């Protein structure tokens, strides 16, 4: 959630272009692997003149094996960049709020999984939840 709030600030308040906002978030390094993904996304956008949706998918696909998420979770995360950068600040705010909500759902699902699948998945669930939380914040 912290990352998403930061992104919202970069976009809606500061009007920083996406590649620069991603770079800023990635450089802060508070999101673990997600920071790497944001940095990679920024790099792809800058170097290949790619839109955020495609760059995000590319960055995610390169790191998919490193994150313990289920395939349905990946679908939500894949689409995260799709609407970014394509409209004005007002609409971007709505897009980011929507992303926060869907990540909150993922987070809740992860917590649920931890409870129902017991001790075996406790660590995995916590990791996943934490990662999702970091991404969404």
Distance CA 17, CA 65 (A): 29
Please say which residue, 12 or 113, places its beta carbon nearer to other proteins. Answer: 12
CA distance 70 to 81: 19
- Report whether 10 contacts 21 (CB < 8 A): yes
Comparison of 89 and 115: residue with beta carbon closer to other proteins: 89
Cα–Cα distance, 134 to 113 (Å, whole number): 18
Is residue 51 part of the contact set for other proteins (CB under 8 A)? yes
Q: x-or-dash pattern for other proteins, window 31-50, by CB under 8 A?
A: --------------x---xx
CB of 102 to other proteins, least distance (A): 20
**Using the rule CB under 8 A, which residue among 5, 28, 64, 86 binds other proteins?**
86
Q: Smallest gap, in angstroms, from Cβ of residue 73 to other proteins?
A: 25
Q: Least distance in Å: CB of 84 to other proteins? A: 8
The answer to whether the beta carbons of residues 3 and 130 sit under 8 Å apart is no
**Which residues have C-beta within 8 Å of that of residue 64, sequence separation ≥ 6?**
74
The footprint of other proteins (CB under 8 A) covers 11-12, 15-19, 45, 49-52, 85-92
């Amino acid at each position: 959630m912290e990352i998403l709030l930061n992104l919202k600030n970069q976009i809606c308040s500061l009007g920083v272009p996406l590649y620069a906002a991603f770079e800023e978030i990635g450089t802060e390094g508070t999101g673990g692997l997600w920071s790497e993904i944001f940095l990679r996304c920024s790099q792809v956008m800058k170097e290949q003149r790619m839109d955020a949706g495609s760059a995000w998918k590319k960055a995610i696909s390169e790191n998919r094996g490193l994150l313990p998420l289920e395939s349905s979770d990946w679908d939500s995360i894949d689409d995260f960049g799709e609407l970014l950068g394509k409209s004005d600040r007002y609409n971007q705010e709505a897009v980011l709020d929507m992303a926060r909500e869907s990540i909150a759902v993922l987070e809740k699902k992860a917590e649920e999984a931890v409870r129902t699948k017991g001790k075996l998945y406790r660590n995995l669930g916590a990791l996943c939840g934490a990662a999702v939380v970091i991404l969404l914040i």
